[in-house]
Chain A
């Protein structure tokens, strides 16, 4: 560690907190310009400092990485201690830049987007608060501080989903998100307790060096598997994976910039970050890795199917987000953490752009969110259209765009990694096809064809994003388009850093332990070693396999990689073509297909009735049990009854005793005489004994 260099990392999260405090405490009386200035200045300063830190970081010698800064001790108990400390390594640099960069752009966008909403200062205060917690999460050097950020972003998310709190659905969506996240957080907490119990520390460096003493748990599940699975539970909650994904679609009740920042680009990727950060643990728990991969794979596929049938523009994007997060989990699950983080980064660009674009569309058509009532918007809002097309190409995996590189990397790794399997790859490709289909469906339904929206006064229906605009759709102001354009550029070029595995090389120091562990666990599986040419070169470590065999393998690998890439490109274009046929060439086709599919379509349209199933299986029994047993039975019947009976009994007894105190002097005299007589009798009786 380099003691001389102090990057003052604490400034990065604290600046947004300052902004949040100013706007939150004093903002009520600020004019809107002032509120916006405070919010933008604090995020811009944070971004500037993050860039500065990143620049310094780049010049650090390898021995000085990770760069750790301690500020104060938080908890000390015996040998165990937790401090406020931030850590800068390759992984947190990327996360920090994504969060501050995308966050800043979305802040700019929000200035115009939220112009007509009430609670302007409240919105920006929450947004800045979110930035603070998210940066704490990614910069923390121990799990507990990460958990602080983890919970904090959950809080900010709750506040922002329920931003239009007078609307019942928004308030409920906020609560849903909060409660579902609690389930996941419970897993994370238990994982931390296990870490403390077995390793006596929560600091990344200490935990990971302790973990590296452990052999990989190839032959059955042990404590590392338990920790990894519990962490996964936490990650599933935060990153909206099966079975805890249900909150994310509902979270679209929040203002659109919130969906872009929190529920697409940054917060929901916290789970992926956590898994990638904990890679030394996960690597030594192959069974947990398998679970991660399966969950990711299922989620990716499942959410994509729902995405194809949704009509609300934001819900399509929400399911697409869940699906893409599934990809990231799948990548982590096959121990290709770099691919997961790479996709996280590119996804942050294009998904933020898609949401902001969708926001611009909603803004432009006066609050309408139903794609069936859009269409033909291309000529009204060309800038939005073209930026959205960039993002769609990126997410669909059209070659050259950012999503192509990251998604292809994931698909390749899911096939070739020692933890991979062709089934993961197959599901991934099918999902890619569906992704491409529903994204181009969104583009075609929204921007092509004729404008199907109602004119004039039918816009009041969606109060949430109603900006009071009426009449023909219109292009957004430049304050909103600027971020769109920047993000569009990033959506195109953002993937190029992955060419020649540069991204992977950059991240390899953080993931390095992975590879050594992989070797160790792979020793049981010689076939896996032979097929590891691609990942091997990233480790830069000498390999035990004879070189010629490895080279031969890697030549073969290259061929295979190109073939697979070709198939995924085909899938991307196939989805595009399919969407084109369905929504441009033969607009009658979708209705006929849905009519043929009948029940299947209805099921998908209703999101497989998962919300209903959860309600029946989890929520209703819980509510009924709480009402009937805990409330009426135990609280009212036992606890309240005990207290009431105690009071009642005391009253009864005193009522009896009270009668002695009659106020009648002669009855007192009688008692005195009787008492005296008793004393005498007693003494006589004692005397005779």
Chain B
């Protein structure tokens, strides 16, 4: 059986990848995907704990996260399309009308 720590390390690694992408990338789609990556990294740790402690609440929480992620994807993609229509770019550094 794979020990719990493997899952957690993988989860932390994925989450770190997500944070890094979130901070570094300029393309709004990529940032969006990074967020999804972070969510799924968290999901992984939920599942791992749930399996390890034999408690279902972790698995149930994952469903909630997936629902939220789906909703977020729907709204987020809609916003992205709207932004693209007006700004004709996906580079977040150029979506800066609120800047000083």
Distance to closest chain B CB from A233 (angstroms): 66
Judge whether B97 and A666 touch: CB under 8 Å: no
Segment from A213-221, A275-283, A600-608, A656-664 that makes contact with B: A656-664
Number of interface residues of A (CB under 8 A): 11
Taking the nearest CB of chain A, how far is it from the CB of B11, in angstroms? 14
Report B77-100 residues with CB < 8 Å from chain A CB: 92-93, 95-100
Say whether B22 faces chain A, with CB atoms less than 8 Å apart: yes
Chain A, 669-680, contact with B by CB distance < 8 Å: what is the 0/1 string?
Answer: 110010000000
> Closest A-chain residue to B95, C-beta based?
A665
B10-24 CB mask vs A (1 if < 8 Å, else 0) is 000000000100110
Residues of B with C-beta under 8 A to A664: 93, 96, 99
**Would A662 and B99 be within 8 Å (CB), given that A670-B23, A673-B19 are in contact?**
yes
**B93/A666 in contact, CB under 8 A:** yes
Partner of B96 from A659, A663, A669, A673 at Cβ < 8 Å: A663
B31 touches A669 (CB 8 A): yes
- In the assembled complex, B54 has its CB within 8 A of some CB on chain A: no
Given A669-B23, A673-B19, also A662-B31 (CB < 8 A)? no
Q: Which residues of B contact A669 (CB under 8 A)?
A: 22-23, 31
Q: Across the interface, which residues of A come within 8 angstroms of B19, CB to CB?
A: 673
Q: Which residues of B contact A658 (CB under 8 A)?
A: 100
Question: B98 to chain A: which residues have CB within 8 Å?
Answer: 661, 663
Give complex CA distance A664, B99 in Å: 6
Bound state CA distance, A661 and B100, in angstroms?
8
* A contact face: mostly helix, strand, loop, or mixed: helix
Chain A residues lying within 8 Å of B26, measured Cβ to Cβ, are 666
Chain B window 52-95, contacts with chain A (Cβ cutoff 8 Å), 1 for yes, 0 for no: 00000000000000000000000000000000000000001101
* Measured CA separation A673–B93 after assembly (Å): 18
8 Å CB contacts to B: which residues of A238-268? Answer: none
- The complex places the Cα of A670 from the Cα of B93 at a distance, in Å, of 13
A664 to chain B, nearest CB (A): 6
Q: Mark A626-668, 1 if CB is under 8 A from B, else 0.
A: 0000000000000000000000000000000011011111100
- A539-575 CB contact bits vs B (8 Å, 1 = yes)? 0000000000000000000000000000000000000
Q: How far is the CA of A670 from the CA of B92 in the complex (A)?
A: 13
| Complex: chain B residue closest to A663, CB-CB | B99
Contacts of A670 in B (CB 8 A): 23
Query: A661, A662, A669, A673 — which one has the most chain B CB atoms within 10 A of its CB?
Result: A669
How far does the alpha carbon of A665 sit from the alpha carbon of B93 in the complex, in Å? 7
B28 nearest CB neighbor, chain A only: A665
The residue that B23 contacts in the complex, of A659, A661, A663, A666, with Cβ under 8 A, is A666
- Assembly CA distance A658 to B19 (angstroms): 26
How far does the alpha carbon of A662 sit from the alpha carbon of B95 in the complex, in Å? 12
A670 to B19, CA, bound (A): 9
Determine how close the nearest CB of chain A comes to the CB of B62; give it in whole angstroms. Answer: 20
Complex-state Cα separation, A78 to B23, whole angstroms: 76
**Cβ-closest chain B residue relative to A676:** B19
Q: Are B95 and A673 in contact (CB under 8 A)?
A: no
B22 touches A673 (CB 8 A): yes
B80 → chain A closest CB, angstroms: 12
Complex-state Cα separation, A669 to B34, whole angstroms: 12
Docked-complex contact B100 and A673, CB < 8 angstroms: no
Q: Point out the residues of chain A lying under 8 angstroms from B93, CB to CB.
A: 664-666
Decide if A673 touches B99 in the complex (CB within 8 Å). Answer: no
A665 CB to nearest B CB, Å: 4
Residues of A within 8 A of B99 (CB): 662-664
> Which residues of the partner chain A approach B22 to less than 8 Å between Cβ atoms?
669, 673
**Would you list which residues of chain B between 29 and 60 have a CB under 8 Å from chain A?**
31
Please give the residue numbers on chain A whose beta carbons come within 8 Å of chain B beta carbons, in ascending order: 658-659, 661-666, 669-670, 673
Q: Which residues of B contact A (CB under 8 A)?
A: 19, 22-23, 26, 31, 92-93, 95-100
* Besides A664-B99, A665-B92, A669-B31, 18 new A-B residue pairs in contact (Cβ under 8 A), listed by A number: A661-B98, A661-B100, A662-B99, A663-B96, A663-B97, A663-B98, A663-B100, A664-B93, A665-B93, A665-B95, A665-B96, A666-B23, A666-B92, A669-B23, A670-B23, A673-B19, A673-B22, A673-B23
Kindly list the 5 A-B residue pairs having the minimum CB-CB distance in the complex, ordered from nearest. Answer: A663-B99, A663-B98, A665-B92, A663-B96, A669-B22
